Chain A
Amino acid sequence: MGLDAWSLVAIFEIVIFLVTFPLLVFGWLMRARGRNPIRDAPFESGQTHLGEARQRYMMQYYPYLIMFIVFDVIAMFLFTWGLAFSSVPMARNYLFLVFIAVLVAPLAYAMYLSGKREFW
């Protein structure tokens, strides 16, 4: 039909939506009626729940998230390098290895910080 690739992806997603949405509507119509405190409580294997569910659980892994963002951006550059790899003289390629090496220090620091719970 001459559609470009992205329109096809959009149509594909729309098909999935059209199949899944009625299922959700069906489930919504079959939902539980009336408030029942025992049924509506969060599941804690039989115990009554105490305390706030949303607390500061895993802050010690915060550096991992920061490094993820950094390496996400770096990956963008690295993929362009990978695409141009064959058409560039080899010396230039070694430069990208330097680029990677520069980022080892922050990574090591983030690893060090995320091991210690007392910092967070």
Chain B
Amino acid sequence: MPDIAFLALSGLVIVSAIFALEARELIYGAVGLAFSLIGVAGLFILLGAEYLAMFQISVYVGAVVVLILFTIMLVRRESGRIVEEEEPGRLGRAGILVAGLIALAVAGAIVILVPISPEAPEFYGVPLPELGRDLASSYAVPLVILGLVIGATVIGGLTLAKVEREKKPNGTTQ
């Protein structure tokens, strides 16, 4: 029997995502994304992963959505309105029909093939100190490699993002 919290949070995720896709202004889309990610964090809490939920909010809603907002606000020259939308043509409508049929087939396969257990499984939550212990011992080398990958990504991204202005002959930049 699905409980109310799960239904409410799933509804939040789906409705916000649809709103984010269909919104007229890009900023509203980013706000819809933020609400959707908060709903995902709520689902994490329902699954017993509270720590992950908190950092989901911190990282995704607190950092990534901020970056998206910042980029929308400062990079686009025009107001961000999506100008025109046409009705999907014949090809578009056929595509929607095919996608809907595939979704139904997959859902049916899941319902038929995956056994539904009568009671909810226990939360498999990793206790946090154990997670830290594992990170320090078993996953130490991957952790340092992760740090190196992040570092390389940041340096590469920043190098690509900056604009090299040409230097004029007298030494000042363009």
Binding site for B on A (CB under 8 A): 6, 54-59, 62-63, 65-70, 72-77, 79-85, 87-88, 92-93, 95-96, 98-99, 102-103, 105-106, 109-110, 113, 118-120
Given contacts A65-B70, A70-B150, A88-B137, contact A80 B144 (CB under 8 A): no
Contact-residue size bin, chain B (C-beta under 8 Å from the other chain):
35 or more
User: Would you give the 0/1 interface string for B151-168, flagging 1 where the beta carbon is closer than 8 Å to chain A?
Assistant: 100110110011111000
Q: Is the interface of A mostly helix, strand, loop or mixed?
A: helix
Q: Is the interface of B mostly helix, strand, loop or mixed?
A: helix
Give 28 pairs: A residue, B residue, CB < 8 Å, sorted on A. Answer: A54-B79, A55-B74, A62-B70, A63-B158, A65-B67, A69-B59, A69-B63, A69-B67, A72-B58, A73-B150, A74-B147, A76-B55, A77-B135, A79-B51, A80-B128, A83-B128, A84-B131, A84-B132, A92-B137, A95-B136, A95-B140, A99-B143, A102-B144, A102-B151, A103-B151, A110-B154, A119-B162, A120-B163
Question: A83, A109, A110: which has the most chain B beta carbons within 10 Å?
Answer: A83
Q: Which residues of A contact B162 (CB under 8 A)?
A: 113, 119-120
Query: Beyond A6-B45, A84-B131, A92-B140, is A59–B74 a contact (Cβ under 8 Å)?
Result: yes
Contact B161 A62 (CB under 8 A): yes
